[in-house]
Structure 1
Amino acid sequence: MAYFSENDIEKLEHIYKINLINSCSGYKSANLIGTKSNTNIENVAVFSSVTHIGSSPAMFGFFLRPTTVVRNTYENIKATGYYTINHIHESITKDAHHTSAKYNASTSEFNVTDLNSEYKNNFFAPFVKGAPVQIAMKFVEEYNIKANNTILVVGKIIGLYINDNLIEDDGFINLSKAKVAAINGLDGYAIPEHKKRFGYQRPKQ
């Protein structure tokens, strides 16, 4: 088994190091976050850091790298207060990944990919058309991570759209039916297959 000490990791070549550390945490969620500026320019970008914060109220968070360069997603959320989270599925992985390219704020990623935006119930920010799970979010607060100057953005769910065939009787969303992707590292995409559910666990008697 390969072993890397803290000192070894620090000495690694840059690209090798970020690939190694980004992939060692395991599979991550694959989402497109949709925003729109105050001047109505749409933006969509891939994120692998969306995480569940709580169910009541229903809240998600996601992490942003340091804002030492322009982060269009972050700027739009702070300016408008609204954004969407859209699950990436197998047929759009290539276009979804291209949204990681650094376009300026005047360019919409919807215009340089085959991804299409759509609007629902007069919500301000665009959803990704065809995404099997689409979530309307409202910004709540942010936390600065001092150790590496990243930002945790926290929002609450104010609208949730799910393809009918994915919802099981107890509310569980079976993402494998929609071929929803997961991200390994920075650029590896996998399509997980649902195997088993084990239910709520209690201590053995």
Structure 2
Amino acid sequence: MYFNRNDIDQLDHIYKINLINSITGYKPANLIATKSKSGVTNVAVFSSVVHYGSAPPILGFVLRPTTVRRHTFDNIIETGYYTINHINEAIVEDAHHTSAKYPKDVSEFNKTGLEEEYNNDFYAPFVKQSTIKMGMTFLQKIDIEANGTILILGEITDLYINDDLVEHDGFADLMKANTAVINGLDTYAIPTKNKRLTYQRPK
């Protein structure tokens, strides 16, 4: 199959978004949880979390245009806090359901089997069933003019990870955690094999 730029524009909308979202490869599967100033929690699935640096530890994720209300975005801007929680095999179905569009006053925690957890007085809730979870402090909003999306950058201030997942050199074994990845918009996979290679130097 071959598509030129015009061909891509002419594709059926659902076909196009499925194709373009899946050809990028496997993406991280995370739940981002927030809480409004009025105390209503929100949790939603995201596949765009990216590492932007380790010192300081910065992660970013992309939000679609705010032409409609984005509860995650509103809560982060209002409070400055959110959490990023890995999706594992046991919670895939509940995690995926958080993509449903509920009103702002309805918490997805109450519509799924996902449970809120609060640690060390951090404002936003963590997902109890997640084995790797990060408390994030909002740093910066970057408007992407090309398509109206928004890049949110945050700093990891709290990190919780099961002891048995961390190797002697600090490597987090996500396969052992049964961490899920996302292919496209709606397909989840659980990696079953790791191959670590040594740091490479010129031959």
For Structure 1 versus Structure 2, the TM-score category normalised by the shorter chain is over 0.9
Structure 2 residue aligned with 1:18: 17
- Is contact 1:174–1:194 with CA below 8 Å preserved after alignment? no
Deviation for aligned residue 1:191:
0.3
**Amino acid of the residue matched to residue 172 of structure 1?**
F
SS at match of 2:76: helix
- Is contact 1:135–1:159 with CA below 8 Å preserved after alignment? yes
SS at match of 1:175: coil
Structure 1 residue aligned with 2:95: 96
Structure 2 residue aligned with 1:200: 199
Runs of 4+ in 1 over 2 A off after TM superposition: none
CA distance in 1, matches of 2:22, 2:7: 17
Deviation for aligned residue 1:106:
0.1
**Amino acid of the residue matched to residue 142 of structure 1?**
K
Q: RMSD of the alignment, in Å?
A: 0.6
Over the matched positions of the two proteins, sequence identity in percent amounts to 62
- Is contact 2:85–2:126 with CA below 8 Å preserved after alignment? yes
Structure 1 residue aligned with 2:144: 145
Structure 2 residue aligned with 1:50: 49
Deviation for aligned residue 1:193:
2.0
Structure 2 residue aligned with 1:123: 122
CA distance in 1, matches of 2:129, 2:193: 21
Deviation for aligned residue 1:195:
2.2
**Amino acid of the residue matched to residue 113 of structure 2?**
D
Structure 2 residue aligned with 1:107: 106
Deviation for aligned residue 1:201:
1.1
Deviation for aligned residue 1:13:
0.2
**Amino acid of the residue matched to residue 138 of structure 2?**
F
SS at match of 2:199: coil
Deviation for aligned residue 1:199:
2.2
**Amino acid of the residue matched to residue 58 of structure 2?**
M
- Is contact 2:91–2:129 with CA below 8 Å preserved after alignment? no
Partner deviation per Cα, 1:145-169 (whole Å, 9 max, x = no partner)? 0010000000000010001110000
When normalised by structure 1's length, the TM-score is 0.98
When normalised by structure 2's length, the TM-score is 0.99
Deviation for aligned residue 1:194:
3.1
Deviation for aligned residue 1:3:
1.3
When the two structures are aligned, how many residues end up with a matched partner?
Answer: 203
Query: Counterparts in 2 of 1:24-63, with a 5 A limit?
Result: 24-63=23-62
SS at match of 1:20: helix
Runs of 5+ unmatched residues, structure 1: none
- Is contact 2:26–2:182 with CA below 8 Å preserved after alignment? yes
